[in-house]
Amino acid sequence: MSLFEETKIPAIHQNDPKVNQATWLTWSKEFLSLNKALRQQQLINGKVTSVKIRAYKAGNYSVNLKNFDKDLLNQLKLYAAELCRFNPNQELIFFTGLINRKISGNLLQFIFATLKEIIVAKHKDKFAALYIPLVSGKKISELPLHSDLFVTDILLNIFEKVKIDGSGHSTFLPLNFFLVQILPQLESMPLSISEKITEILTVVTKKDRYDELVNLLYNEKHPWNEELLTLMETHQQRILFTKGEGYLINDRNWLHGRAATNGGILKKRLHRLAYCSRD
Ligand SMILES: [Fe+2]
């Protein structure tokens, strides 16, 4: 029982030189065959709502599992368990066709919110999985390479409303490469700072250290800012995802980011499901 199955690299990405080693997945045929039952359940449940989580000062998409059809819920529990066992470790996993004729963007949102709810209920831990809405904005925006550092380690990001203007590439860099090949090369960064950054990125803690990390890496006032940005840009892998495409990474093994978008960010640009890998 598997949510996804392997598929070919989409034609538009065949010439992307730096990312052609990724594994491409799409919905499995068996999961797609549930689409009618899922749509019916979505009609019963209504709109997916976002509930605030204080620890992350963010929302979290949620659904009510109480009114679920038992058979469908039991099947989804098996898919959710399989997803939790799916730890890509050092591998880069890409997706295509997750939004298609059978699964709309709204249904994908319902599926992700349901899987999140099932994982949370199974582990009796509200941080075992998160589905955090994107913060939209009108400005040109860029996110340099970073780790989210949520309590969860696996990050599944699927794009929906992407502007087709050739901007806003997703960027990736293996964490190990960053720690071994980039950080020690930075002549303008004191050893104490590179040790601190290494600690933030490698020591697992429940504390939210994202802001601390991003400030140490990218605050323009730091003398290492330019040198670091140049090296990151030289070595990062880039890919421009379209609707229904996206990626799954272990947030502790990969840095990820977004190149500047020409315009703003739409709220439904991205569906991001984060979960803890475990058996
Ligand atoms: Fe992120």
CA of 144 to the centre of ligand 1 (A): 9
Q: Where residue 279 falls among pLDDT bands split at 50, 70, 90?
A: low
What pLDDT is recorded for position 20? Answer: 65
The 10s digit of each residue's pLDDT in 161-194 is 887 787 889 999 999 999 999 999 999 999 999 9
pLDDT of 274: 95
Q: What is the 41 CA–ligand 1 centroid distance (Å)?
A: 31
How many Å lie between the centroid of ligand 1 and the Cα of residue 257?
Answer: 6
1 Cα to the center of ligand 1, angstroms:
29
Dihedrals phi, psi of 270, to nearest 5 degrees = -145, 140
Q: For residue 44, how far is its CA from the centre of ligand 1 (angstroms)? A: 32
Residue 157 Cα to ligand 1 midpoint, Å, equals 9
What is the 3-state secondary structure of the chain? CCCEEECCCCHHHCCCCCCCCCEEEEECHHHHCCHHHHHHHHHHHCCCEEEEEHHHCEEEEECCCCCCCHHHHHHHHHHHHHHHHCCCCCCCEEECCCCCCCCCHHHHHHHHHHHHHHHHHHHCCCCCEEECCCCCECCCCCEEEECCCCCCCEEEEEECCCCCCCCCCEEEEEHHHHHHHHHHHCCCCCHHHHHHHHHHHHCCCCCCCHHHHHHHHHCCCCCCHHHHHHHHHHHCEEECCCCCCEEEEECCCEEEEECCCCCCECHHHEEEEEECCCC
Lowest mean pLDDT among 32-41, 118-127, 160-169, 238-247: 160-169
Residue 18: predicted pLDDT: 66
List the structure tokens of 78. 């098996």
Å from CA of 256 to ligand 1 middle: 6
- Ligand 1 centre to CA of 34 (Å) is 30
For residue 10, pLDDT over 90 is answered with: yes
Domain boundaries, the chain: 4-173+239-275
Does residue 266 carry a pLDDT above 90?
A: no
pLDDT band at 267 (very low <50, low <70, confident <90, very high): confident
Closest C-alpha to 200, from 183, 187, 188: 183
How high is the pLDDT of residue 141? 76
The pLDDT confidence band at residue 66, using thresholds 50, 70 and 90, is very high
- CATH value of 4-173+239-275 in 3.40.50.970, 3.10.20.600, 1.20.140.150, 2.60.120.10: 2.60.120.10
* Residue 5 CA to ligand 1 centre (angstroms): 25
CA 81 – ligand 1 centroid, Å: 24
Distance of CA 91 to the CA centre of its chain: 14
Question: Is the pLDDT assigned to residue 16 strictly greater than 90?
Answer: no
Q: What's the gap in Å between 75 CA and the centre of ligand 1?
A: 30
State residue 140's pLDDT score.
64
Predicted local distance difference test score (pLDDT) of residue 138: 66
Residue 37 CA to ligand 1 centre (angstroms): 32
CA of 36 to the centre of ligand 1 (A): 32
Distance from residue 135's CA to the centre of ligand 1 (Å): 12
Distance 205 CA to ligand 1 centre (A): 17
Average pLDDT value for residue range 153-157: 95
Nearest in space to 272 (alpha carbons), one of 25, 95, 145: 95
**147 alpha carbon – ligand 1 mean position (Å):** 6
Average pLDDT, the chain: 91
**What contacts 89, CB < 8 A, 6 or more positions away?**
250, 253
The single residue listed with the structure tokens 């990390």 is 213
pLDDT tens digits for range 97-125: 999 999 999 999 999 999 999 999 999 99
Residue among 86, 92, 134, 132 nearest 276 (CA): 86
**Least confident segment among 11-25, 56-70, 114-128, 211-225:** 11-25
Strand, helix or coil for residue 137: strand
Model confidence at 53: pLDDT above 90: no
